[in-house]
Amino acid sequence: MQRDLAELRRQIDAIDDRILDLLNQRAKVVIQVGEAKAGQQREYFVPSRERAIFERLQSANPGPFPTEAIHRVYREIISASLSLEEPLKVAFLGPQATFTHAAATQQFGLSASLVPQKSISAVFSEVASGRANYGVVPVENSNEGIVSHTLDMFMESDLKVIAEIQLGISHFLLSRSGRMEEIRKIVSHPQPLAQCRKWLEENLPDVPQVDVASTALAAQIAAQEPETAAVASEMAASLYGLRAAAERIEDNPNNFTRFLVIGRKMPDPSGRDKTSIMFSVKDEPGILYRMLEPFNKRRINLNKIESRPLKKRAWEYIFFLDMEGHLADEAVSAAIEELRTHCQFLKVLGSYPQTI
């Protein structure tokens, strides 16, 4: 038996050597791709190409390697490859260990340079100035609704949405010891505390809860105070050396946040895209019908429509609309141009691949 185990381990070592050799062969080709892109002044990060790689490999996987793990493995392979072409600098709404940080890591991998910013406007500024290649900002939560500051920033910015990220939100109760009976105080941002209210009332009813500025700050506090626990992300546990006293304590397991990747150039069509626009219209009879009719008669599916009050004029609204398709599609561009005739203002925020 011991001899059989040793032989199996030698086989694994030989396979790992082959994988390493193939990774380096892939890296050499990636460097050539980077040189070709530089000569053509093309974007290094191409969301549609990444999605095509993930989908092709996942559909071709015969097993037993788990199909769901292929995305995670190749996320890091592609991240490392991009760093060979051009080190990507990505600004995100910080601090570290927040869910926006987790979303940025999910999209760009660990080889990208992820730089936390103190505000959503700072993320836009970093990308607009060229100090960062891309930015990651939250735009809506399935429970809490739209992130209005992100949408407001698009009013002032010429940046484009180039990708979207869907992140399942799971909250962990973290402390230094990981023992529930030692917890005397719970700290977190007000939103996670609200999302875990029922669980906390049932399991720690007499423990006071304290609001802080972010889940990352909560984790920092818990790392310094032995009897304090933080409601924070799983990423925060590894970053701040904490242990989980309880996992996935959110009251609603179907809790997702959608994030947008912003950049300076709209990506080419991928074949399965989404287009986001914002516009305002005159308040007059039948205007809602005329807003939607250009899309209805072209059978364009609308994923979302959201309204926000215009800050400059009372009782007037700005609308945000997501639709299936790319601006390069004839039906989509025609529908938008027809809508424009009814608008006081219209801006295309971007066309980008839909999430897998």
Tell me which of 257, 279, 319, 320 is the catalytic residue: 257
Residue 320 falls in the annotated catalytic set: no
Non-local (6+) Cβ contacts of 44 within 8 A are 34, 37, 82, 85, 86, 88, 133
Inter-residue contact 333 to 340 (CB < 8 Å)? no
- What whole-number distance in Å separates Cα of residue 116 and Cα of residue 135? 10
Inter-residue contact 354 to 322 (CB < 8 Å)? no
Tokens encoding 243: 């242990």
Of the candidates 109, 150, 96, which has an alpha carbon nearest to the alpha carbon of residue 127? 150
- What whole-number distance in Å separates Cα of residue 55 and Cα of residue 37? 23
Tokens encoding 5: 């185990």
Residue 67 falls in the annotated catalytic set: no
Tell me which of 124, 259, 279, 295 is the catalytic residue: 259
300 DSSP assignment: P
Edge-to-edge strand ranges of the sheet holding 273-281: 302-309, 317-324, 273-281, 343-353
- What whole-number distance in Å separates Cα of residue 279 and Cα of residue 42? 30
Of the candidates 194, 138, 206, which has an alpha carbon nearest to the alpha carbon of residue 167? 138
Catalytic residues: 257, 259
